[in-house]
Amino acid sequence: MRERVRTARVARLATTDPDGRPHLVPIVFALDGQTLYSAVDAKPKRSRRLQRVANARERPDVTVLVDHYEDDWSRLWWVSLRGRARVLDAGEEAERALGLLADKYEQYRREPPGRPVLAVDILEWRSWDASATG
């Protein structure tokens, strides 16, 4: 389960907006122990002030879903990570997280992401694997 998350290239981050509605976005990330990191990258966005970051500041309970799909449904799996988000605007942990992200994604070596960095301290791991349901 941990290896699947560590090597996955994309996940979905669910936060809660000010009206209590779910806000779901795809993210790239790096896993370090029990903490998952994601940053604001240079891909075009409406604003560098992202709703996911504002949501995490106000309501830090988040869920990250990492999954795998194939037309062969016996190979499907998902891992859900529930945790508490922290927004890192600066500091040593933010720098380490940016390094982990650059190590994982060549795009970040070419064009480093900025801050803030979103850190999710994972409190619960849940998973499902189609091959194990037989």
Residue 44 has a pLDDT of 47
Per-residue pLDDT tens over the stretch 59-71: 999 999 999 999 9
Q: Let me know: does 70 contact 30? Beta carbons within 8 Å.
A: no
What integer is the mean pLDDT of 2-11? 96
Task: Check whether 84 has a pLDDT greater than 90.
Answer: yes
Per-residue pLDDT tens over the stretch 38-51: 997 655 445 556 89
pTM for the full predicted model: 0.91
Residue 58 has a pLDDT of 96
Residue 132 has a pLDDT of 82
Task: Check whether 95 has a pLDDT greater than 80.
Answer: yes
What integer is the mean pLDDT of 17-34? 96
Q: How many CB atoms lie within 10 A of CB 67?
A: 16
Whether domain 2-128 has CATH 3.40.50.300: no
What integer is the mean pLDDT of 115-126? 96
Which among 128, 122, 126 is positioned nearest to 31, based on CA atoms? 122
What integer is the mean pLDDT of 107-121? 92
Which among 2, 5, 21, 25 is positioned nearest to 13, based on CA atoms? 25
Residue position matching structure tokens 């945790």: 83
Domain ranges of the chain: 2-128
Which among 120, 132, 39 is positioned nearest to 81, based on CA atoms? 120
Residue predicted with more confidence, 133 or 61: 61
Q: Let me know: does 115 contact 39? Beta carbons within 8 Å.
A: yes
